Structures are given as structure tokens and as C-alpha cells.
């Protein structure tokens, strides 16, 4: 069922984004006097073909809903009647041809702005940026971030949710510098801290290790309450039970679960006098963690799991960010600009070898993201559409033959030379473009399979 849902929303997403892209070519071409013969969404055999009254363009829906095209009158594709030659694409000035070509990617950016605008008006739900725990000796701990703090701003930008914090961190990691966070503690007091990001990499950001890399756990504080005990484990041998709350270890107060885990891990084979609260009574248990050795070295383990926060506590941290039409449009423009800048910088880092090519995603991953975002509601799906639309706009502007950017590259050469490139040169460029795109898609598809099958 999940697979089918992902496929359906992937097809919907591609259909919407291709329509936006091709409509850009279509709309500008018609406005500039170029005759458009066909506007098609999808390739292959046309399932549906129609004409609008008084409109010379043929509209079609193709059998393969993974692309589309705009077919314009062009002497390079067939004979053109003398009276129509002035409307042929190849007869247009360099400026008009360039405008028609660039309109497709431009409309992808316009679509992204509209999608973000609707998203902000509908309301974006997320988890309030409250710190549930801090890993000892992590960047967050060294910066002075404490459990229970709420991140209200990062790098001068309001951060009502953790999603907002992550967006700022991803952008700042590329600079490898320091990000200033404004924190609000449980009493309402505010303070600024400087979080150093020098040890973080782009792969940490893109592979879902943002929080572990900086050393924070989102959500409500994780109380040191035992949820279950593994049979035959040191925890069971000590008499520990589900529901016990760890109060102290060797006379030292235990504030939260991460502190308890850190204490246990540091004492393999060493008996710990553990004070717990059970049904209103306080008991002292003699607990000896077993010694476990893995790639990180030797550490202690007792065989007990933590009781996760209740649905009520998580619901209390849920927040919906919503704006009026005017404010939403301003945020949409900034979000589109941020997404564009971030994507370009990431591509440049990848070209320079500073970001892994494993981050390239193909159709399988995009389909999965489509299904997941759709499950999160309309606002989340609009966010997904906007991000992919920005990526498509940038991809199509790359100076690669067969893409819109490749045509613009030819036009730039024509401007310099004073005449178009020869057909032979364009043919060589097309072959190189095909080889590059096939290789790129092959790599993306390989990454998808590697993620899917581990």
C-alpha cells in the first residue's frame, strides 16, 4: 500500500512540475509570436488530444507521465509554409529564442514561490525547537545548550520549529563557522550561545545526522524511567523493573536518561549503587553493567530501555506556523531564494569533492519522499513540490546539451561568433549531453538501490 501511494504521488508530483515547466516555454513562446504546434504532458502515444476553439495549438496527454514537451514551428524539423516562416522558432532573434528557453526553468522557480506561499497560508506543523537532552562533550554541550532550552532564533532568524533550526544549520555548515543561537530557558530567560560547526560535514546534514552531530535530542526531556528489562540481563539480575525511575547512582543525582546511559557506559563491570523510585518507595539496587566491546571500544550495558515520552507530551510541543497572504508571500520568496542558494552551493561542493555524490537522489528516492510528504498533509506535500521544482529549475539551467542550459550555451556561442554553431558541432554536443545525463541518472539510480537495500 505504501509503495502504491508513493508511486501515485510521485506521478502527481512529476505531472505538476512538468506542466509548470513546459507551460513556461509555451506561454512565453506564444506571447513573443512563435507558433506552438503541440503542448503535451507525458510522452509516447497520446491518450487524449484536444483543441480549444480558436486556438491553433494541439493539446495532448501522453501515455508515459514522466515528462512533457512543447513543439514549436521550426524549419529544422520540417518544411514551413512561406507565409508562416516569420513565426518559426528558428527565425526568431537570439533574444526571443533565449527568452523562450529560459522561461521553462523560470516557471519552476515561480511555481516554487506559489507552492511555498500556499504552504505558509495553510500552516506548517512541526515540533517546537525544545531541547530534550544534550550529549556530553558535544558541540551543543560545549556551547552551553541545556536540556529544556528552546531555540527561538538561529543566525538572526526566528526558529519556531526544529525544521527551521535545521535549515539554518545546513546552510551554516557549508561555511564551517559558528552560528549564534538565541535560547529561552524554562523560566523564560533568554541568552545567546555560539554553536561551533567546524567538526560537522555536509554528509552529516544530508544523511539525517543533524541532531546527533551537534549533540542534541529534540522533544521533551527524556526522564530516566525504565520501560522494559531484558530477561537475563544485569538490570533484571539487580531486581530492576519496568516503571522504576532512576534517582541517583553512587550517590550522584541522575537528571535524565542520557545522563544515566553515560554513567552506565563509563562503568563496564563496576557495581553501581542505584537508587530508584518504585510505586512511591525508594530502593537501592546493586547493579553491575556487563562489558561490551564494539567499534567505539569497551562500555557498559545493563539491558534496559527507556520509557518514551507520552503522546500528550509530544502534542504539547506541536506548533503550527501560519501567516497571512502578504507575510506568507514574503516568506515564500525568501524560502525559494534560500532553497536555490543552498542547492547551488551544495552542487558546487559536490563538484569540488567536499560533499558525497551519494547524496544524489533518483526516481526511487523521490517517489519515497513524495509518499512520505503526502502522508504529512497538504502543506508538507507543497513543501516537497517546491523543493523539487527548485531543483528541476537549477538542473535544467546547467550548461549541458539537451537541457535548456545547453541551448543557452549554444546561443552564447552564437552571440560571440555572430552565427549559429554548425549542425555537426551541435550533434557532438548532443551525444556528450546524452552520455553525461545517462551516467548521472545511472549514478542516482545506483544510490537509490543502495539506500533501499542497504
The residues that are catalytic are: 22
106 contact partners, CB below 8 Å, separation of at least 6:
24, 393
d(CA 79, CA 278): 89
Residue 45 has which C-alpha cell? 502515444
Residue pair 97/89 in contact (Cβ under 8 Å)? The answer is yes
Cα–Cα distance measured from residue 139 to residue 135, given in angstroms and rounded to the nearest whole number: 9
C-alpha 355/C-alpha 345 separation (Å) is: 10
Distance CA(399)–CA(374), nearest Å, equals 33
Tell me the C-alpha distance between 183 and 169, whole Å: 15
CA separation for the pair 383, 393 (Å, rounded)? 15
Q: What is the DSSP string of 395-437?
A: HHHSS-TTSHHHHHHHHHHHHHHSSPPPHHHHHHHHHHHHHHH
The sign of the CA dihedral 359, 362, 365, 366 is positive
Please compute, for residue 360, the number of CA atoms within 13 A of its CA located in the half-sphere on the CB side.
Answer: 20
For 318, phi and psi rounded to 5 degrees?
-70, 140
Amino acid at each position: 500500500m505504501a509503495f502504491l501511494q508513493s508511486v501515485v504521488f510521485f506521478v502527481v508530483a512529476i505531472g505538476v512540475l512538468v506542466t509548470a515547466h513546459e507551460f513556461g516555454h509555451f506561454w512565453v513562446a506564444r506571447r513573443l509570436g512563435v507558433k506552438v504546434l503541440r503542448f503535451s504532458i507525458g510522452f509516447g502515444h497520446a491518450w487524449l488530444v484536444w483543441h480549444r476553439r480558436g486556438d491553433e495549438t494541439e493539446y495532448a496527454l501522453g501515455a508515459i507521465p514522466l515528462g512533457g514537451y512543447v513543439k514549436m514551428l521550426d524549419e529544422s524539423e520540417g518544411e514551413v509554409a512561406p507565409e508562416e516562416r516569420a513565426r518559426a522558432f528558428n527565425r526568431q532573434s537570439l533574444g526571443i529564442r533565449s527568452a523562450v528557453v529560459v522561461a521553462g526553468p523560470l516557471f519552476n522557480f515561480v511555481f516554487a514561490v506559489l507552492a511555498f506561499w500556499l504552504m505558509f497560508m495553510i500552516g506548517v506543523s512541526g515540533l517546537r525547537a525544545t531541547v530534550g537532552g544534550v550529549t556530553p562533550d558535544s558541540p551543543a554541550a560545549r556551547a552551553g545548550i541545556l536540556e529544556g532550552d528552546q531555540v527561538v532564533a538561529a543566525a538572526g532568524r526566528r526558529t519556531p520549529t526544529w525544521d527551521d533550526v535545521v535549515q539554518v544549520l545546513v546552510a551554516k555548515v557549508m561555511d564551517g563557522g559558528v552560528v549564534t543561537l538565541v535560547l529561552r530557558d524554562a523560566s523564560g530567560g533568554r541568552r545567546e550561545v555560539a554553536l561551533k560547526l567546524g567538526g560537522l560535514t555536509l554528509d552529516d546534514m544530508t544523511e539525517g545526522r543533524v541532531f546527533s552531530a551537534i549533540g542534541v535530542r529534540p522533544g521533551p526531556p527524556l526522564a530516566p524511567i525504565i520501560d522494559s528489562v531484558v530477561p537475563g540481563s544485569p538490570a533484571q539480575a539487580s531486581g530492576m523493573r519496568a516503571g522504576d525511575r532512576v534517582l541517583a547512582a553512587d550517590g550522584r543525582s541522575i537528571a535524565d536518561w542520557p545522563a544515566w546511559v553515560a554513567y552506565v557506559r563509563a562503568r563496564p563491570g563496576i557495581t553501581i549503587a542505584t537508587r530508584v523510585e518504585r510505586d512511591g518507595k525508594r530502593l537501592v539496587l546493586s547493579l553491575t553493567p556487563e562489558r561490551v566491546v564494539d567499534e567505539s571500544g569497551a562500555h557498559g550495558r545493563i539491558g534496559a530501555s527507556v520509557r518514551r515520552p507520552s503522546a500528550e507530551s509530544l502534542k504539547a510541543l506541536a506548533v503550527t506556523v501560519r501567516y497571512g497572504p502578504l507575510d506568507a508571500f514574503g516568506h515564500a520568496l525568501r524560502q525559494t531564494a534560500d532553497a536555490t542558494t543552498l542547492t547551488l552551493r551544495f552542487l558546487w561542493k559536490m563538484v569540488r569533492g567536499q560533499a558525497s555524490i551519494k547524496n544524489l537522489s533518483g526516481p526511487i528516492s523521490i517517489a519515497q519522499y513524495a509518499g512520505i510528504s503526502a502522508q504529512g498533509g497538504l502543506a508538507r506535500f507543497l513543501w516537497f513540490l517546491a523543493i523539487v521544482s527548485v531543483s528541476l529549475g537549477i538542473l535544467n539551467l546547467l550548461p549541458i546539451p539537451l537541457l535548456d542550459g545547453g541551448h543557452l550555451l549554444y546561443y552564447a556561442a552564437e552571440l560571440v561568433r555572430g552565427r549559429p554553431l554548425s549542425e555537426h558541432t551541435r550533434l557532438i554536443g548532443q551525444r556528450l549531453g546524452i552520455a553525461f545525463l545517462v551516467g548521472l541518472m545511472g549514478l542516482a539510480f545506483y544510490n537509490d538501490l543502495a539506500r533501499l537495500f542497504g
